[in-house]
Amino acid sequence: MSISLVLVPVALALRVVMGKQRFESWVESLQIKVPTQFRDERDLLVTVRKAGYDAEHWGGMIKTHARGEEFFFFWQLIDGVWTAIFAKSDSKTDIKNFIRDLERKAARQIFQWTDSTHKVVVLPTKTFPTNFRNRELLAKILVECGLAPTNSPDGGIACQAQGCRLTFRQEADAPFDVEVRNAPDVRQVFQHLDEINQGYCRNVQASTYQNLKSRIAERGLVIEQEEVLEDNSIVITLTTQP
């Protein structure tokens, strides 16, 4: 049976005796956290209830009974990702059966990166540098890539990409860094970032091209020829007006 220890009286007493940091570490050690691909709270509630399970708000989380009154657990929003929180004392068979049943009834993968035995396989969080500097342009490209970006609590730009969570953060005028969380395969991460980078570069090139043409006209020059090279760069030949 899974319980949120910080919400029962005996746990409050333990928190006083053990101290906040040791108590929270102890609670963390008793939990199994499995991230999901739910888009938002509504997606979670509708999917779980349609599958025949309950999903009720309880102490800032959502409580679900997976097998009668004996086996229940909680859903919690952690770093923007809805996460199922089981107790390490819960039956591993019960956890696996619930995961399989919910995904079968929903006809989609919900729990992030499980293998055939439903053991969680998640790469550690990694941060990579990028070439992106313009926040508005980056958000525009993410939308064009179908990634539905949102503003993260720390001021970054967050989105989901094939189960992994990407969070772009910028310090002052420096290029963005991207934090990658719950990635199943580093190759997929770089594929996503490459697609985003290509879109970003195309937009920067188009903007630079239009600005250049405006400056050319302002200075009384005439474009004699434009040539697009194999690498998609553009060569412009100019002549002066007589």
- Residue 54 pLDDT: 95
- Residue 49 pLDDT: 96
Hey, what domains does the chain have and what are their CATH numbers? 5-106 (3.30.310), 126-212 (3.30.310.50)
Bridge-partner residues for 235, per DSSP? Answer: 227
pTM of this structure: 0.43
- Residue 115 pLDDT: 47
- Residue 6 pLDDT: 35
Low-confidence residues of the chain: pLDDT under 50: 1-18, 23, 26-27, 114-118, 120-122
Read off the pLDDT of residues 116-167 as tens digits, 9 standing for 90 and up: 444 544 456 777 788 888 899 899 988 888 888 899 888 899 988 766 788 9
Contact predicate 132/138, CB 8 Å: yes
Whose CA is closest to 226, among 209, 201, 211?
209
- Residue 179 pLDDT: 86
Dist. CA 200–CA 70, nearest whole Å? 52
- Residue 169 pLDDT: 92
SS (H, E, C) the chain: CCCCHHHCHHHHHHHHHHCHHHHHHHHHHCEEEEEECCCCHHHHHHHHHHCCCCCEEECCEEEEEEECECEEEEEEEECCEEEEEEECCCCHHHHHHHHHHHHHHHCCCCECCECCCCCECCCCCEEEECCCCCHHHHHHHHHHCCCCCEECCCCCEEEEECCEEEEEECCCCCCCEEEEECCCCHHHHHHHHHHHHHHHHHHHHHHHHHHHHHHHHHCCEEEEEEEECCCCCEEEEEEECC
Contact predicate 170/179, CB 8 Å: no
Whose CA is closest to 14, among 4, 23, 1?
23
Pair of tokens at residue 236: 């412009």
Pair of tokens at residue 10: 């005996």
Instruction: Work out the number of other CB atoms within 10 angstroms of the CB of residue 50.
Output: 11
